Structure 1
């Protein structure tokens, strides 16, 4: 018997286990694939290993004295070899050793719920284990790519995010179907590595969950570098010529787009279809509803952390939830009632150590395209949809001297969303080279609900991109964004 059993040893499951062990709880963690999960081997880490050379080269081309040194193409072989090293050649020995180092027991195999507080594990060596949880089971099984139901798609062997981040060769022609983060980042990476990229977007533009100007900047950059970006198009069918021949994407107007590989970046679905949810009265295959302590609705012992609860499909947000869940599980265990009354969890309010408040008010994200984009909090469209009266302050990032020093011909934009009653920030969005490093300052301002009057005393260093904060405050003072 263990105090806690964790299903899934990705970054989320690892963090839940680590917090529980640090609090003195006995912990088992179950993993059916590689310890370290999607982020370590098929998402965050390999994708950024592919993107960093592309972005560094692009920025160097805008710096006097460097252009002639980096004018040639990227060394694709070296980039792919570095990607392989970053993911440990898809071996998880180091991460498995880390799990053992924190005192958790690792079970390799497929774990399934088998009634309340009980998990069965079908081991990879044919062995079978039955684990019982004294206090909690945490479902941290993540998500996988969702493919549309299209004629010919199964036989066409499309890329998903996994193939896009792990391919050992650069296709001559890559078709990207989708307009979200995976689509935009992988179009950026593979174009820089030498592929001719066509992006097919069903909606009006790229990165639709962010402010509209973000997708406009990213699309413009892709087009300038030779990509074909089409919006408002729908895919009707996919055909692969033989076992390894070219692929044809047929649009609903009959037009055909030819490529050597096709990536479908069209959403995610939870990995909950075969983990025994039906044994505890929950529907298999769906997202799991949770409260702010990440406890599944109607189950005082079951937690769902990370992608599976559909709050924010981001590794850093899942790890944040894991810290909250680990604290809540430990406090409830120490309280002894399961409800945490003694620890005050039942009365936990916003920004409590037991409440994932940032899921609602301050989710940060950086998109590693060229140019980079980053945002935290709500957008103008989200504020308007919620009926909130806000002021939006927009500025071109060339308003600061640091932009011209960062790169000749610098292009970028920022928008700040302000609650005019409290004069605090509700959201900030950036696009432009180097802006990913500006997001955390915005996150602190939003989470801390720092009044604009106090932000005047947060003096930005000169001459850096962060001086845009001063320009935003000046624009707000001078009436920008006022109806």
Structure 2
């Protein structure tokens, strides 16, 4: 006979990924008793199947490309990457998919970790079916926070399950390099994994349904990444949809809407994300299972004064750093409301309203070249009704770029609100530009006037000097 335990906490967090951990960290710092429920590994998607392993695969790719374009060093790096060493390093970075370190962190903040599937069972109640056969009923005095993230979304193709396709998880955790890899998709995961596996020795075919790669960013971003992937040997087809997939004698065969047939050893579908809310008991609190959770700017789920949702699951911004930002705010809000405060003050270190999700979400695509952006693209700004102007600079004209890499190719754009003369967005494409995006984020969030930005003097000779060139181009035109 199964045993049931009932325990009461101030806060119950469903999901022990980076987002859930940050909620718990804030609520524990405020003195609230906190339980975290996790069905897989503490540390979550980012630690084991997304951010960390993907960047561990990509860092050697970028470093080798930089070395091959550095006079005096290029002759010393003639050979290919040591794929086995790259994969071994990746395995070390994800702790070989063991979460002992993350568990110690949870214990270190004096939160309680419960293993098993957590499901809502009515307002403020979470039931956990543990692997030890014990069912636990956790009741929250103040709040439940859903931080379950997303799963890969797969298309509805007949027989797809029998093909055993890769999703982002298999793409970042594979233990061998496939001879031929078909990548279906045109977003960040598709671009990054095509870059990584092509450099590790796979022959990559990239099938993009839209007109170009990275089509949610400035057009030149996808153009420059596409050009680089082609030079690396990848075969990319745009305006191409896969209509059937089979595995024949171990070989994957993908057929497109144009009747073209592509063969590979593995196929990766990087075709979007879906909320991981199908089996967490949403129906017990009047919400639809499998749905995104809509929240207000305090991260409270619409219509529920005790339920919060942070991270990808609320669809505000599907990137880890924004999820952690939301988590810190949610934790602050829960603590404030638990103390009886109805008016939520917002201090410099205790924000209670998530505004960055609306205007200043930074992104970095770790391809070669890198793509970094924040805020609105030109098209998005125009669609929103702003009177704007785009200012472009060829990054190869900046002295620091030429020193960074021989034959540097790249481009920068800032989108200026002409009525207020502040930045609405910025995009950089080129080697090493990921480190530029935070300065742009500060400018967008701070709504810094362009005439004030003139006094933020970039160091010479660095790629950051592009800021001076952008301001000059704006003044001259």
Output the TM-score relative to the length of structure 1.
0.96
- SS in structure 2 at match of 1:77: helix
- For residues 81-100 of structure 1, the aligned pairs below 5 Å read 81-100=88-107
CA distance in structure 1 between the aligned counterparts of 2:227 and 2:457, rounded to whole angstroms:
33
| Unmatched 5+ stretches in structure 2 | 1-7
The residue that corresponds to 1:131 in the other structure is 138
CA distance in structure 2 between the aligned counterparts of 1:353 and 1:44, rounded to whole angstroms:
26
- For residues 76-225 of structure 1, the aligned pairs below 5 Å read 76-225=83-232
Preserved contact between residue 276 and residue 313 of structure 2 (Cα < 8 Å): yes
The residue that corresponds to 1:260 in the other structure is 265
Match of 1:295 among 297, 300, 316: 300
- SS in structure 2 at match of 1:317: helix
CA distance in structure 2 between the aligned counterparts of 1:37 and 1:22, rounded to whole angstroms:
21
Alignment partner of 1:60 is 2:67:
yes
Residue by residue, what CA displacement relative to the aligned partner does 1:91-137 show, whole Å, maximum 9, x if unpaired?
A: 00010110010010000011000000000000011111110000000
Alignment partner of 1:355 is 2:356:
no
The residue that corresponds to 1:250 in the other structure is 255
| Unmatched 5+ stretches in structure 1 | none
User: 1:41–1:394: structure 2 CA closer, same or farther, 3 Å change rule?
Assistant: same
Match of 1:442 among 440, 443, 461: 440
Moved more, 133-142 or 351-360: 351-360
The residue that corresponds to 2:43 in the other structure is 36
The residue that corresponds to 1:451 in the other structure is 449
Preserved contact between residue 46 and residue 86 of structure 1 (Cα < 8 Å): yes
Match of 2:472 among 460, 471, 474: 474
User: 1:53–1:310: structure 2 CA closer, same or farther, 3 Å change rule?
Assistant: same
CA distance in structure 2 between the aligned counterparts of 1:240 and 1:389, rounded to whole angstroms:
52
Preserved contact between residue 332 and residue 350 of structure 2 (Cα < 8 Å): no
Preserved contact between residue 361 and residue 374 of structure 2 (Cα < 8 Å): yes
Match of 2:234 among 218, 227, 232: 227
CA distance in structure 2 between the aligned counterparts of 1:392 and 1:207, rounded to whole angstroms:
19
CA distance in structure 2 between the aligned counterparts of 1:50 and 1:265, rounded to whole angstroms:
17
CA distance in structure 2 between the aligned counterparts of 1:357 and 1:454, rounded to whole angstroms:
23
User: How far off is 1:6 after superposition?
Assistant: 0.1
User: 1:177–1:350: structure 2 CA closer, same or farther, 3 Å change rule?
Assistant: farther
The residue that corresponds to 2:318 in the other structure is 313
User: How far off is 1:38 after superposition?
Assistant: 0.3
Output the TM-score relative to the length of structure 2.
0.97
CA distance in structure 2 between the aligned counterparts of 1:264 and 1:97, rounded to whole angstroms:
35
- SS in structure 2 at match of 1:229: strand
CA distance in structure 2 between the aligned counterparts of 1:235 and 1:425, rounded to whole angstroms:
39
Residue by residue, what CA displacement relative to the aligned partner does 1:315-340 show, whole Å, maximum 9, x if unpaired?
A: 000000001101111111111xxxx4
CA distance in structure 2 between the aligned counterparts of 1:191 and 1:432, rounded to whole angstroms:
19
- SS in structure 2 at match of 1:51: helix
- SS in structure 2 at match of 1:437: helix
Preserved contact between residue 151 and residue 236 of structure 1 (Cα < 8 Å): no
Preserved contact between residue 290 and residue 297 of structure 1 (Cα < 8 Å): yes
Runs of 4+ in 1 over 3 A off after TM superposition: 348-352
User: How far off is 1:350 after superposition?
Assistant: 13
Q: RMSD over aligned Cα, in angstroms?
A: 1.3
Moved more, 89-98 or 350-359: 350-359
CA distance in structure 2 between the aligned counterparts of 1:98 and 1:352, rounded to whole angstroms:
22
The residue that corresponds to 1:16 in the other structure is 23
Alignment length (residue pairs): 470
